[in-house]
Structure 1
Amino acid sequence: MPTTATPSLSCLVVDDDPLSIKIVNHCIANTTFLQAAGSCDSAVKAAEVLRHQAVDLLFLDVEMPLMSGLDLLKTLHNPPLVVLITSSKEYAVEAFEYDVVDYLVKPISYARFLKAAQKALEVAGQRTEAEAPAHAPDADYTFVKVDTKLVKVAFNEVRYVEALGDYVHIVLGQSKLIVYSTMKAVEEKFPASLFVRAHRSFIVNIRAVQSIEDNMIVIENKHIPIGQTYMRDVLQRLNKF
C-alpha cells in the first residue's frame, strides 16, 4: 500500500551560544520532518546566509550582540517561519508582533521543541495551500500576495509587469500592485498565450501593445525596451517576424 511522504522543513539555527546550537540541532536530528540547513552564531551572519539560501524555518535566539534576533526579523522582507528561543520570557509579547510560530524559553525540552516544530509544519501547510495556483490553466485571473493580502488580478487588466529590485510592479491601467516576487515567478503565473517577456525587467500583455518604435514597445505612452535576446520571440508573438 503506497504511503504519502511527510513534507520536511529545512531549518537554520541562529544563536550565539554554542551549547544552545548543539541542543537545537540535536532536536532537529531527532524530528523526522525537519532537516538541518546549517547554523550561525550571530544574527549578522544569518542575515547574509538568508540572502543566498532559502530555508523554511528559523530557530532564532533573541538576545545576541550587535544585532538581536528581533532586529534581524525587521530586516527580512519575506522571512521564513520563525521559532524564537531565549532565556527570558519578557520578549513574548513583542515576539508575536512579528507573527512568529512559537516562542521557546531555555532550557528547551524536546517535548516542547516538538510541539513548536509541529506547529511550524501546520503553518507551512496552510501557506502552501494559500500560495498554490488559485486558478485553472484556462482561467482569466490569478491571485498575488500584496503585503498580507491575496489580491485577485484579471489578466486582461494587466498592461505590463516591471521588475524593481526584489519587487515587481504589476501595472493595471491607472493603478499598480507592488508584489514581493521575481519575474520568473510572474512568468509561471501569467499565461504565455497572453504575455511575453520583452526585457530582463519587463513582461508585457500582448493585447496591450499599441506599437513598436525603435526597439521599444509602446503601451499607453509607456516606452518599454526590447532586450536583444528577447527580440525574436517578441516579434514572433506579435506576428511581425
Structure 2
Amino acid sequence: MPNTAPTALRCLVVDDDPLAIQVIQNCISHTDFLESAGSCASAIEAAAALRTTPVDLLFLDVDMPQMSGLDLLDTLVEPPMVIMVTSSREYAVAAFEHRVVDYLVKPVAYARFLKAAQKALETAQTPAAATPSGGPITTDHTFVKVDNKLVRVAFDDIRYVEALGDYVHLVTNQQKLIVYSTMRAVEEKFPPQQFVRIHRSTIVNLRHVQAIDDNAVVIDGKHLPIGQTYMREVLQRLNKF
C-alpha cells in the first residue's frame, strides 16, 4: 500500500457462500470510507484477482474448498490488510498470527463490521514509521533503554510485558529485559493491533497467546491472570465471547 492513505479503501470480498458475500457487500455500501472492488467465490479465484486488481482490504473467509483463507495469505508476498469473516471461532489466534486487522464471526452485524472497518482505516492512515520521544520506532521493531543503552527489539519477539515498580519486565523469545518505563508508555509505543493489556500490570502479544485457561492467558506455558476490568476487551480482541 502507498504511504498516503486512500480516500476510500478498496475492498475485495472472498467467500464461497453467496449470501455471506451479499451481507458484506451491503455493509461496504453503507460505509462511506469503503468501496467495493468486487468479490470472489474461492481463494484460488482471489489469488488470480489480486495479481491484477489493486486492493486495500480483504474481507476473507477461512473455510473454503481447495484453499483456505489462511492458505491464501501464506501465498501472498505483500498482502493487503485483511479482516477475517468466518463462522468458526477456532481460527482467531491463527488469524492474528497472520497480522489480520480484525476477526468477524458470522452472522455479522453492521455495528461490529463498522468497528472492524474503522480499525482498517486507522491502520491505513498510520505512517509507516515515526519517531516518538524515547527512541525510534518502526512497524516491526522498537528501541528500549536498558542500562543507559538503546536495545533493538522486534515486536514479534516480545511475548509479554509486566510492571515492576518504576520499571517494566519485557519478556522476549530470547531474553528478559528490565526497562525503565511505565505501562502507559508501553501501551502508547507498541502497535495496538498486536498487543493488549490484560491486567493493570500485564500487556501481552496476541500472536503468542496459546490459550485462555479460566481467567488467565497462556503464553509459553505461563499463566498470566486477566483482570476483571480487562476481561471483556481481551475476549473481544480474541473474538471468544
- Structure 2 length-normalised TM: 0.52
Q: Distance in 2 between matches of 1:38 and 1:10?
A: 9
Q: Which residue in the other structure is 1:53 paired with?
A: 53
Q: Which residue in the other structure is 2:84 paired with?
A: 84
Give 3-state SS (helix, strand or coil) of 1:82's partner: strand
Q: Which residue in the other structure is 2:175 paired with?
A: none
Larger Rg: 1
Q: Distance in 2 between matches of 1:70 and 1:13?
A: 14
What's the RMSD between the two structures over aligned residues? 2.4
Q: Distance in 2 between matches of 1:21 and 1:130?
A: 31
Distance apart, 1:6 and its partner CA: 8.3
CA 1:106 to 1:122, structure 2 compared with 1: closer, same or farther past 3 Å?
A: same
CA 1:6 to 1:77, structure 2 compared with 1: closer, same or farther past 3 Å?
A: closer
**1:128-139 residue pairs with structure 2 within 5 A?**
129-130=127-128
Q: Which runs of 5+ in 1 are unaligned?
A: 135-144, 151-241
Distance apart, 1:131 and its partner CA: 6.7
Distance apart, 1:32 and its partner CA: 0.3
Maintained 8 Å contact 1:11/1:35: yes
Q: Distance in 1 between matches of 2:40 and 2:9?
A: 18
CA 1:80 to 1:131, structure 2 compared with 1: closer, same or farther past 3 Å?
A: farther
CA 1:30 to 1:47, structure 2 compared with 1: closer, same or farther past 3 Å?
A: same
Distance apart, 1:77 and its partner CA: 0.3
CA 1:72 to 1:92, structure 2 compared with 1: closer, same or farther past 3 Å?
A: same
Distance apart, 1:130 and its partner CA: 1.5
Would you say how many aligned residue pairs link Structure 1 and Structure 2?
132
Q: Which residue in the other structure is 2:150 paired with?
A: none
Q: Distance in 1 between matches of 2:6 and 2:46?
A: 27
Give 3-state SS (helix, strand or coil) of 1:35's partner: strand
Give 3-state SS (helix, strand or coil) of 1:120's partner: helix
Q: Distance in 2 between matches of 1:117 and 1:46?
A: 20
Instruction: Give the share of equivalent positions with the same residue, in percent.
Output: 63
Give 3-state SS (helix, strand or coil) of 2:100's partner: coil
Distance apart, 1:102 and its partner CA: 0.1
Distance apart, 1:52 and its partner CA: 1.0
Moved over 3 A (4+): 147-150
Query: Are 1:116 and 2:133 matched, yes or no?
Result: no
Bigger mean CA deviation after superposition, 5-14 or 46-55: 5-14
Q: Which residue in the other structure is 2:208 paired with?
A: none
Q: Which runs of 5+ in 2 are unaligned?
A: 132-137, 143-241
Distance apart, 1:7 and its partner CA: 2.1
Query: Are 1:75 and 2:75 matched, yes or no?
Result: yes
**1:89-168 residue pairs with structure 2 within 5 A?**
89-126=89-126, 129-130=127-128, 148=140
Q: Distance in 2 between matches of 1:39 and 1:85?
A: 13
